Amino acid sequence: MKDRYSRQSLFKPIGESGQEKISQKHVLIIGCGALGTANAESLVRAGIGKLSIVDRDYVEASNLQRQQLFFEQDCIEQIPKVIAAKAHLQKINSSVDIRSYVMDGTSTNLVPLLQGVDLVIDATDNFDIRFITNDLIHQYHVPWIFGSCVGSTGMSYTILPGKTPCLQCLLDVTPVSGATCDSVGIIAPTVQMVVAHQQVEALKILVEDFEALRTKLVTFDLWNNLYHTINMDRSKKDTCPTCGENPVYPKLTFEAQTKMEVLCGRNTVQIRANREVHLEELAERLRTIGIVNQNEFLLSLNYEEYRVVIFRDGRVLIHGTDSTEIARNIYYQLVG
């Protein structure tokens, strides 16, 4: 397809040389929901050389309203998001090297994925993983584009280790609401607006036009017709434990890691186990309790009034409770 990228290459700030650079670059997207799928599709259509995507979840019906790479059949089969995304992305551009990782990103398992990466894009839905990523990208000196959205509001900021304020500096002066998509909802145009800001910054980094990068935090409210850019230069702190003069990367310590967490607004508890699960053997055992739905990546069953999803990497989602104690008891009863 000789003319595949012709319109992009005709754009002078990119040109033929920029297109060649894009084809040689590697981007890591953390999160494969609304922001993740839209960012992934845009990069694949733009001709990125290699794309790695990390996500811990599987496709559900409520995702289909705004997560643009998923279809009803993905939901019916409970396909992990990164697996479904990769399948659809390869149909868009088969020349891109796409790597999918069904896992919950941590300070340990993200490290190998950062090797050789030119850019990280934030597409997560919680600040635990964002703060871990913030420490990691500063430790390994990888550019990162932050993005978040809920309701009709969103924000985006480009973080360059050693040059710009980090996420912690940013949030010290720009508090973020605790609202989530599960509690207050979200409209699809909000997602697209955040992705538009992330993607244009991504293209600038990929073609190495660093002078053109936006240096301000963008915030907006589409429903109420509000749009702001905020200069964050003065928010950078020499004493910051992540990007200051003596960084210690506090979110990378074992003590800072969440082993059991309530997924905000979802009435769900996630348990992280440090061992893989033999799904076939476990499914056979759990069939004595109830009907087990299974694919090669996970199994699920209804247990009392709860719905339990067990991934091969040992993670367990217990839907129907926000009590870690109840979730722990169910885990021990079913998994051991």
* Domain 6-254, second-level architecture: 3-Layer(aba) Sandwich (3.40)
Distance from C-alpha of 273 to C-alpha of 247, rounded to nearest angstrom: 29
Find out whether 179 and 153 touch, Cβ atoms under 8 Å.
Answer: no
pLDDT value, residue 257: 65
Find out whether 195 and 271 touch, Cβ atoms under 8 Å.
Answer: no
Q: Position 13: which residue type? A: P
Q: pTM for this structure?
A: 0.85
Tens of pLDDT, residues 249-285: 998 886 666 578 888 778 999 988 767 788 898 888 8
Distance from C-alpha of 169 to C-alpha of 248, rounded to nearest angstrom: 15
Give helix 188-206 / helix 15-23 axis angle, nearest 10°: 100
Q: Which two tokens stand for residue 262?
A: 């309530």
Closest CA relative to residue 159, chosen from 94, 224, 235: 235
Average per-residue pLDDT in the chain? 92
Distance from C-alpha of 265 to C-alpha of 44, rounded to nearest angstrom: 32
SS (H, E, C) 301-324: EEECCEEEEEECCCCEEEECCCCH
- From the number of C-beta atoms within 10 Å of its C-beta (0-12, 13-18, 19+), residue 12 rates as exposed
Tens of pLDDT, residues 136-186: 999 999 999 999 999 999 999 999 999 999 999 988 877 666 566 765 789
* Domain chopping of the chain, boundaries: 6-254, 258-334
The pLDDT of 113-142, averaged and rounded, is 94
Q: Which two tokens stand for residue 289?
A: 């309790």
pLDDT value, residue 73: 97
Matching residue, tokens 């230069």: 233
Tens of pLDDT, residues 78-108: 999 999 999 999 999 999 999 999 998 889 9
Sign of CA dihedral 29, 308, 274, 129: positive
Distance from C-alpha of 81 to C-alpha of 53, rounded to nearest angstrom: 10
Tens of pLDDT, residues 8-54: 999 999 999 999 999 999 999 999 999 999 999 999 999 999 999 99
Q: How confident is the model at residue 68 (pLDDT cuts 50, 70, 90)?
A: very high
Q: Which two tokens stand for residue 17?
A: 């040389």
Superfamily of domain 258-334: TATA-Binding Protein (3.30.310.10)
Distance from C-alpha of 231 to C-alpha of 188, rounded to nearest angstrom: 27
- From the number of C-beta atoms within 10 Å of its C-beta (0-12, 13-18, 19+), residue 290 rates as exposed
Q: In this prediction, what percent of the chain has a pLDDT beyond 70?
A: 95
Matching residue, tokens 């301000």: 216
pLDDT value, residue 274: 63
pLDDT value, residue 251: 87
Laid out side by side, the sheet with 298-303 consists of: 260-263, 268-271, 316-319, 306-311, 298-303, 292-294
